[in-house]
Amino acid sequence: MIMLELLLKNANVGMKTSSSVRSLGIENGYIRFASEKPYPNVKAKEEFDLKGFFVYPGFIDSHIHIFSTA
């Protein structure tokens, strides 16, 4: 069994070309896995069901206006 710090279930992960519902496993601030399949052998200290809400790996603020940034 894999033990993680954080498990995000049913996340709509925004990628470069598309988005899809996935599970994300996070350990030490890094994404350890991303999968469209459920992970029954994964446990985490904290688990959240995002119910389709978006996750944007690598973004600090997903709402920005490119023309107004410095």
3-state helix/strand/coil string of 18-60 = CEEEEEEEEECCEEEEEECCCCCCEEEEEEEECCCCEECCCCC
Residue 68 in 3-state DSSP? helix
Taken in order of first residue, the domains within the chain and their CATH numbers are 2-68 (2.30.40.10)
Residue 51 pLDDT class (50, 70, 90 cuts): very high
> In the predicted model, what is the mean pLDDT of residues 23-43?
85
Residue 8 pLDDT class (50, 70, 90 cuts): very high
Residue 69 pLDDT class (50, 70, 90 cuts): low
Q: Exposed (0-12), middle (13-18) or buried (19+): which is 67, by Cβ within 10 Å?
A: exposed
The pTM of this model reads: 0.72
